[in-house]
Amino acid sequence: MTRRIVLTGTPGTGKTTVSELVAERTGLDVVHLNDEIRDEKLYTERDAERDSLVADVEAIESWLGEWDGIVESHLSHLLDADEAVVLRCHPEELEARLRERGESEAKARENAESEALDVVLSEAVDRFGTEAVYEIDTTDRTPEAVADDVVAAIEGEMEPRAGAVNFIDYL
């Protein structure tokens, strides 16, 4: 049976680390979409101000073809899939994680504000509906514990949930 799962969330929520653990536990293949966007030139331009690539979603979908497994990226919820797992993290912790890995203060703050405003979650719910979105908070949790929840979600051992995490206090 083909399963197409997107693992998404604001940069810094733990998607890459968690996706590897989930792959080990489930045997599902993982596509690290941001790497592929860069390596396969699946972008329309480089945004110099943000130091990022502007993804070409049509080119990405064409490159993926009839895929199955997990696609991991802060953009993966823009793709057609069966389910979306959205990783969340308190904006203060998220900002610290991003600064620790070398992001500028402005970029870290922009992502923290995006997280506080539920931007990725809202986009995922708009695309998939609440019946196919699993929101998982990664704040103060180990990657292994988060991976346990992701596996439970994709194996049907957890009910879909969206809107349970609230970081509006950050603003």
When pLDDT is cut at 50, 70 and 90, the band that residue 10 belongs to is: very high
Tell me the binding residues for ATP.
12, 14-17, 101
When pLDDT is cut at 50, 70 and 90, the band that residue 50 belongs to is: confident
The amino acid at 139: T
**Per-residue pLDDT at 162:** 96
- Residues 18 and 70: their CA atoms lie apart, in Å, by 11
- C-alpha R_g of the chain: 15
* Domains in the chain: ranges and CATH: 4-164 (3.40.50.300)
- Residues 166 and 108: their CA atoms lie apart, in Å, by 19
- Residues 136 and 115: their CA atoms lie apart, in Å, by 13
- Residues 122 and 10: their CA atoms lie apart, in Å, by 12
